[in-house]
């Protein structure tokens, strides 16, 4: 009899706990559905305002200017560069002058290696000996 009462008590406790857990799960689902309903209601109330905006002349004008690169009659396009761009005036030095074979080969060996690994040149071919030292060629012709 005591064992039967123990099993009956255990069964009632388990049924009560399962019922409470089911109620908790249902309440949490109801809360999440209510939140979803509120979100969809807000979205539904926003739709007429969106339709009104997307059919307005201001939106059509903005879309034509930003996406299609069009201008209204009489408008002029002005491009303002960002502050990070520095515009320098004057002649730009030619890269061929900065990294010609003679200019690179006349540098110290460490500078040549630096130019090879980190500079604008990958390799420089040694020109003919007479182009490296033009004074020596003149000296040879004078002495010869």
Answer for the pair 105, 124: CB distance below 8 angstroms, yes or no: yes
Q: Which of 66, 86, 121 is the last residue of a domain?
A: 66
CA distance linking residue 9 with residue 16, whole number of Å: 11
Residue 74 lies in a domain: no
**Do 11 and 59 reside in the same domain of the chain?**
yes
List the pLDDT tens digit at each of the 144 positions of the chain: 788 888 888 999 999 999 999 999 999 999 999 999 999 999 999 999 999 999 999 999 999 888 888 888 888 877 776 666 555 555 555 555 556 667 767 788 887 777 777 765 555 555 555 554 555 544 444 444
Could you tell me if 109 and 56 lie in one domain?
A: no
Residue 87 lies in a domain: no
Residue at 71 is within a domain: no
Q: Is residue 116 part of a domain?
A: yes
pTM assigned to the model: 0.36
Domain extent for 7: 2-66
pLDDT (0 to 100) of residue 130: 59
Assess whether 51 and 102 both reside in one domain. Answer: no
12 and 56 in a single domain? The answer is yes
72 lies in a domain?
no
- Residue 82 included in any domain: no
Q: Are residues 62 and 99 in the same domain?
A: no
Alpha-carbon 22 to chain mean position:
48
Same domain assignment for residues 8 and 51: yes
Secondary structure of residue 114 in the 3-state scheme: helix
In a domain, 78, yes or no: no
The total number of structural domains that make up the chain: 2
Same domain assignment for residues 59 and 106 = no
Residues 57, 99 share a domain: no
């Amino acid at each position: 009899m005591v064992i039967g009462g123990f099993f009956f008590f255990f069964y009632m406790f388990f049924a009560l706990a399962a019922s409470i857990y089911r109620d908790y799960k249902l309440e949490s689902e109801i809360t999440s559905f209510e939140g979803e309903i509120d979100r969809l209601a807000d979205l539904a109330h926003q739709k007429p305002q969106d339709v009104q905006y997307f059919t307005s002349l201001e939106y059509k004008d903005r879309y034509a200017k930003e996406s299609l690169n069009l201008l209204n009659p009489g408008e002029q396009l002005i491009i303002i560069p960002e502050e990070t761009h520095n515009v320098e005036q004057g002649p730009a030095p030619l890269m061929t002058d900065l990294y010609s074979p003679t200019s690179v080969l006349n540098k110290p060996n460490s500078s040549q290696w630096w130019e090879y690994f980190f500079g604008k040149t990958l390799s420089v071919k040694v020109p003919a000996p007479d182009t490296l030292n033009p004074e020596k060629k003149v000296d040879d012709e004078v002495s010869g």
